A and B are shown apart, each in its own frame.
Chain A
Amino acid sequence: DAKTTQPTSMDCAEGRAANLPCNHSTISGNEYVYWYRQIHSQGPQYIIHGLKNNETNEMASLIITEDRKSSTLILPHATLRDTAVYYCIVRDASGGSNYKLTFGKGTLLTVNP
């Protein structure tokens, strides 16, 4: 069962902010929201994750709504190298095999010159 819903594709102009939405309306209280991206023919790359507070790192910001049913990944100044498929994933906070990540179809972000 898909736990997250993302748009199939988005476009963004180089230098502008890219805002990628994700719906996870069935998220439970002990599930984190993770974002990964996959550049063509490479392995996925970790971007950011959060539980309920907004998070920021050197790559991106993660905004999680108060009810935790949706989130937005923000790339503040998109570059051509940010063109990739972006995956929003919810994961159980417990350990062991529950650590596995189930990938949906993601959003293909295309950054245009």
Chain B
Amino acid sequence: GAVVSQHPSWVICKSGTSVKIECRSLDFQATTMFWYRQFPKQSLMLMATSNEGSKATYEQGVEKDKFLINHASLTLSTLTVTSAHPEDSSFYICSARDRNQDRLHFGNGTRLTVT
């Protein structure tokens, strides 16, 4: 079945540094990918919609200059958390739309810890 690979699965970084998270669709092309964030004991919150070849659409309250999204190909979207702070520590999850199966497939998430 369709698989979405997310890398890294976990990362620890120091405050003020930037972290890049990759999301790849392995056996299907994804013109649209979505980035979510999940804090402990809470549900997934949509951050932004990533469209191949165009600018991402951010949800209200999400800083586009802090969370940079690039969707340069039909199989890869990246999320860069710039100038990370401890409050950015969270579980980041991407998903990709499989048009052939009319559903979203999710990656296994990236646990970010900012010290």
Contacts and interface: CB of A to CB of B under 8 A. Distances in A.
Interface residues of A, number: 21
Nearest to A85: B43
A85 to B, nearest CB: 8
B25 interface: no
Given A42-B109, A43-B93, A106-B43, A101 B6 contact: no
A106 B43 CA distance: 8
A49 B103 CA distance: 9
A99 B44 contact: no
A21 interface: no
Interface string B82-105: 000000000101010100001111
Contacts of B6: 43
Contacts, number: 52
B59 to A, nearest CB: 9
Contact of B46 (A36, A46, A102, A104): A102
A96 B106 contact: no
A35 to B, nearest CB: 11
Interface in A14-33: none
B43 to A, nearest CB: 5
A46 B103 contact: yes
Interface in A35-77: 36, 38, 41-46, 49
11 contacts: A34-B103, A38-B44, A41-B109, A44-B106, A45-B106, A49-B102, A99-B32, A99-B104, A100-B46, A101-B104, A103-B43
Given A43-B93, A99-B32, A103-B36, 20 more contacts: A34-B103, A41-B109, A41-B111, A43-B6, A43-B95, A43-B107, A44-B93, A44-B106, A45-B106, A46-B103, A49-B102, A87-B43, A96-B32, A97-B51, A100-B46, A101-B34, A101-B104, A103-B44, A105-B43, A106-B43
Interface of B: 4, 6, 32, 34, 36, 43-46, 49, 51, 57, 91, 93, 95, 97, 102-109, 111
